[in-house]
Structure 1
Amino acid sequence: MLLFWVFFTLFSVVTSEYNVPISQVYANTQPPKGMADDEVIEENHGNSKKIIIISLIAASAVLTVVLLLLCCLWVIRMKRLKKSTKDMQLQLDVSKRRSLVPVLSKLNSLRMGGKKGNVPVLEYNLLVEATNSFEESSKIGEGGLGRVYKACLGENVLAAVKIVNVGADKEFQNEIGWLSKIQHQNIVSLIGSSVHEDTKFLVYEMLQNGSLESHLHGATRGSTLNWSLRMKIALDIARGLEYLHERCDPAVIHRNIKSSNILLDSTFSAKLSGFSLAVTAAMQNKNDLKITESLGYLAPEYLLDGKLTDKSDVYAFGVVLLELLTGRKPVEKLSPTHQLSVVTWAMPQFTDRTKLPDILDPVIRDKMDPKHLYQVAAVAVLCVQPEPSYRPLITDVLHSLIPLVPVDLGGSLRIA
């Protein structure tokens, strides 16, 4: 309607000079007395050319105005779209960090010493109080980067405080660097950090059910994890890795996927932790990397040649999947001088369907649809292939697992 009104107005203005009564127009078409016919034709031809030129000018003017209006509308639309995208991303970031809102809102601002990037710097005395001076009863674990203690911050808000090992300054900075930028529901969140003299601390959200390693290989020997929960955990890990490999720019290689770095919350939703060794896909120089990870999870090409790609994470994911299926550790010590990896042990048996049910963890044996078992076993076998090019992308793994997980656990499987 707006464009029609503009066109009509411009046309009226341009042609107003030529709006004369029809009778006069008719009179003007009659040749004056004494004028020859060829003169009349020439004059009429000249008038026709003028009319055509004026029409072209009018049409060009209208077209120019229309194009200008369309450009303005496009610019306005792009600005609104950009603002809408920013608002959506902000809402997404807020929703992803909703579990941290109670923590951050209840922390006393006077006990904070500013920020390091996007990560709050917490006062050392606050951590001492929150962990009862790091007493042994508060200790909940120990990893490659240091000991972890349960802490109570503010009004009964629980957190996990890690005392970083001496000499791990680079890993400390790397952990802060990545977790201050990465926000995903399947990646652990960093609440803050602290430095006291030569000791450094990292403070994470508390995940009540601890690590996957403690459930599979601890006192309960996997009894807390039924088939559906194990598939949910595998799906959550795949989602976290898919975010790192496909959604981050540049892509991030976790480089330290293992069951002890997979943490479980109160609903057994899994989150990736342990980003102290993470690198971008471009950082593949063997001289820049230290092979410090657990050997059972290392891809052959990385272990032998230092070649690091996203397929290295896929291999480690495959080892975790074998742990979930068999209940075995990544490396079993058979004697003081002989060890057997779960990959070497499982691969010959996983290729034979008749043997597959017999080598499963007894907790889940005969408690799933056999078709689902064969599908998961096939995914695991593909992930731990010695040749990286034969391994699937984590996106393909993700889409393979979604139909095997019940809807109420985050998949698409509907159970009758």
Structure 2
Amino acid sequence: MADELGAAQHEIDMYIRLIPLIALVDGSNNRRVTVTEGEPSMVPSCSDHHTRFPSRVVEFIDLHVQGAAKPGEIAGKSVTVDLQEGKIMDIEAVLKLCIHTEKNYPGFRRFDFFQIMEATDGFSEKRKLGKGGFGTVYKGHLHDGLTVAMKRFDADAAIFDFKTELQLVSIHHGNLIKLLGWCIHEKERILVYEYIQKGSLDRTIFRKTKGALLNWSKRLQIIKGIAEGLLYLHKHYWIVHRDLKPNNILLDLDTNPRIADFGSAVTLVSDVAEEHTGRVVGTSGYIAPEYASQGIYSLKTDVFSFGVLVLEIISGRRNFTMELQGDTVGNLVRDAWHMWRDEKLHELVDPALSDGYDSPVIIRCTQVALLCAQEDPADRPTMTDVTAMLNSESILLSDPKEPTELTNGGASADSSSSYTGQSSKTIDITITSSAPVSTRIRIIVDRDLTGEKYNQQLLYSRIDIDGCKKMIDSSSLCIGIPK
């Protein structure tokens, strides 16, 4: 209890130290600075194409503090300030936290920085496994023969990005990534994880050459493993991952899935809690409708993402949404529902599976996935129900409701298989600069029906600049910037 009170006092001290820093911002800067309340988070994501959906424009401003020798230096201590989260990264505080955690968890150990440098060849590009919004992950080979994944945090990562990730030390499950150790050296903050040999799920299911390696038995094993991992997080810790997608599912040598990259995760006060945030994070195509539009999240937020993920594992296709046409669930969910209704689920199944699958099992998995991907969270089952439905054929399943159709000339109810026989590649790009805007552009490159080449066509783009939304067609790449 004394340790917990001490940690709470330190947290309050950091908030107090932030107040005068904001008050002393140079008045010559005309840009508006908004400090929002930070929310609990979990492991920083380092997966590729990680996308944030801010409800307001994201600004990072150089602070000119009166009486300080250098910007960002308080009482002689080097700190990093993230005004959006209202947090100060105090290296000394993080160091104390890691030492305290190591004492309480003997298996969690400290790594020497020079040992990490040697293991990663000085953080060389050839060792890079992935990069996300909070840092970069590198593959490292230690002297004892152990291969690990080392997450090197960016300089602007907030304190909760690092601090709450340490909760993984106490969470042990066969379908969750394992945290092994830490390293704090000057301004470097590094966490060390077990290395998962086969990499992320997206590198397999979306590639024809590798997708064939995942037969239906292995895909079902992956689906059930992810469900068990989520159930463990929800039932025992009330943790919402909030960015469940193939990039964040790692496969070991036995094709067992490990949920990773908890950068968007939060802990609820109960298993039925529903909370609201002004800072919506996640990845397009997997984010629940109520969370994307209203910032409302609960355990049912992960259930929606799980449903989309299952449909992708079954079909080998990505789900993408057309937000400007009122799309709330994505093309894959909509197509799958029409195929399920018309009893044409054979059109949904990944061609790489050929005929090597059990039709009744795939039909059941698809129906469970559609129930998970319902637009109304009240219509979605809990992960307890999901695991029961996947493991027992005696449980009767209800019929999933039809997804909302697209507006503005979108798909009609009769176009049940508008994407059959096609595959598409979605690239989410976040562009940031010194200007006070955050711009996200989605580019979809569609493969023609012969599968021999790409059409090199910009099918859909969305740009958010101070709330302004623009559509760009393939005939013009000129972007209108509002005054």
Give 1:348's aligned residue. 338
2:180 equivalent in structure 1: 191
Cα contact 1:178–1:275 (8 A) shared by 2: no
**Is 1:151 equivalent to 2:140 in the alignment?**
yes
1:316 alignment counterpart: 305
Q: Is the 8 A contact 2:264 2:281 kept in 1?
A: no
Shift, 1:207, TM fit: 0.5
How far apart, CA to CA, are the structure 1 residues paired with 2:241 and 2:193? 18
| Cα distance in 1, alignment partners of residues 308 and 368 from structure 2 | 11
Q: Distance in 2 between matches of 1:171 and 1:211?
A: 25
Alignment partners' CA distance in 1, 2:374 and 2:153: 35
Point out the structure with max Rg over C-alpha. Answer: 1
Q: Determine if the alignment matches structure 1 residue 266 to structure 2 residue 256.
A: no
- Note the C-alpha offset of 1:115: 5.6
2:230 equivalent among 232, 241, 245: 241
Aligned length: 286
Q: Deviations over 1:151-191 (max 9, x none)?
A: 11232111011222332224532453321221111111001
Q: Distance in 2 between matches of 1:145 and 1:365?
A: 40
1:228 aligns with 2:217: yes
Between the aligned partners of 2:187 and 2:136, the Cα distance in structure 1 is 16
TM-score for both structures, normalised by structure 1: 0.64
Please state how far the C-alpha of 1:196 moved relative to its aligned partner.
Answer: 3.0
Counterpart AA for 1:269: N
1:277 aligns with 2:267: no
Q: Which deviates the most, 210-219 or 355-364? A: 210-219
Structure 1 residues 379, 238: CA separation in 2 closer, same or farther (over 3 Å shift)?
A: same
Tell me if the contact between 2:285 and 2:321 (Cα under 8 Å) persists in the aligned partners: no
Question: Following the alignment from structure 1 to structure 2, what is the Cα–Cα distance between the partners of residues 387 and 379?
Answer: 15
**Contact 1:175 / 1:274 at 8 angstroms: preserved in 2?**
no
Does residue 182 of structure 1 match 2:171?
yes
Mapped to 2, the partners of 1:304 and 1:152 lie a distance apart of 44
- Greater RCO (CA < 8 Å, at least 6 residues apart): 2
| Whole-angstrom CA distance in 2 between matches of 1:211 and 1:307 | 28
Distance 1:201 1:177 in 2: 12
* Residue of structure 1 aligned with 2:367, choices 369, 378, 384: 378
1:6-405 alignment runs, 5 A limit: 114=99, 116-117=101-102, 118=105, 119-218=108-207, 220-248=209-237, 251-282=238-269, 285-287=275-277, 290-331=279-320, 341-353=331-343, 355-402=344-391
Q: Distance in 1 between matches of 2:143 and 2:228?
A: 32
The 3 A distance-change label for structure 1 pair 290 and 365 is farther
Check whether the contact 2:280–2:292 (CA below 8 A) recurs between aligned residues: yes
| Contact 2:285–2:330 (CA under 8 A) maintained in structure 1 | no
Contact 2:176-2:260 within 8 A present in 1 as well: yes
SS of 1:193's partner is strand
What's the CA shift for 1:332?
7.4
SS state of the match for residue 317, structure 1? helix
Distance 1:138 1:327, change over 3 A: same
For 1:185, what is the secondary structure of its paired residue?
coil
Distance 2:346 2:245 in 1: 24
Q: How many angstroms does 1:330 deviate by?
A: 2.5
CA deviation map 1:372-399 (0-9, x unaligned): 1110111011000011111111111112
Q: Tell me which amino acid in the other structure corresponds to 1:266.
A: L
Q: Is the 8 A contact 1:174 1:276 kept in 2?
A: no
Q: Which amino acid counterpart does residue 141 of structure 1 have in structure 2?
A: G
Matched residue of 2:211: which SS? coil
Q: Which residue of 1 aligns with 2:13?
A: none
Change over 3 Å in CA distance of 1:363–1:175 after alignment to 2 = farther
Q: 1:174 to 1:155 in 2, by over 3 A?
A: same
C-alpha distance in 2 between matches for 1:317 and 1:306: 19
* Change in CA separation of 1:377 and 1:167 when aligned onto 2, cut-off 3 Å: same
CA shift, 1:340, in A, is 5.5
Q: Cα 1:257–1:120, aligned 2, differ >3 Å: closer, same or farther?
A: same
Question: 8 Å contact 2:336–2:345 — kept in the other structure?
Answer: no
Would you say the 8 A contact 1:192–1:203 is kept in 2?
A: yes
Alpha-carbon separation, structure 2, partners of 1:165 and 1:218: 31
Q: Which amino acid aligns with 2:224?
A: L
Partners of 2:235 and 2:128 in 1: how far apart?
36
- Kept in 2, the 8 Å contact 1:189–1:205? The answer is yes
Report the alpha carbon displacement of residue 290 of structure 1 after superposing the two structures with TM: 2.3
**3-state secondary structure, aligned to 1:220:** helix
Shift of 1:228: 0.6
How far apart are the structure 1 equivalents of 2:321 and 2:144? 44
Are 1:121 and 1:193, in contact at CA under 8 Å, matched by a contact in 2?
A: yes
Letter in 2 for 1:279: V
| Contact residue 256 and residue 278 of structure 1 kept, 8 A | yes
Give, as a single letter, the amino acid of the residue that structure 1 aligns with 2:387.
L
Residues in 1 aligned to 2:198 and 2:254: alpha-carbon distance in whole angstroms? 8
Runs of 5+ consecutive residues of structure 2 not aligned to the other structure: 1-97, 394-483
* Residues 163 and 314 (structure 1), Cα distance of their counterparts in 2 relative to 1, 3 Å cut: same
Q: Any idea what SS the aligned residue of 2:204 has?
A: helix
Q: For 1:237, what is the secondary structure of its paired residue?
A: helix
> Secondary structure of the equivalent of 2:136?
strand
Question: Which residue is 2:461 aligned to?
Answer: none
How far 1:220 moved relative to its partner?
3.4
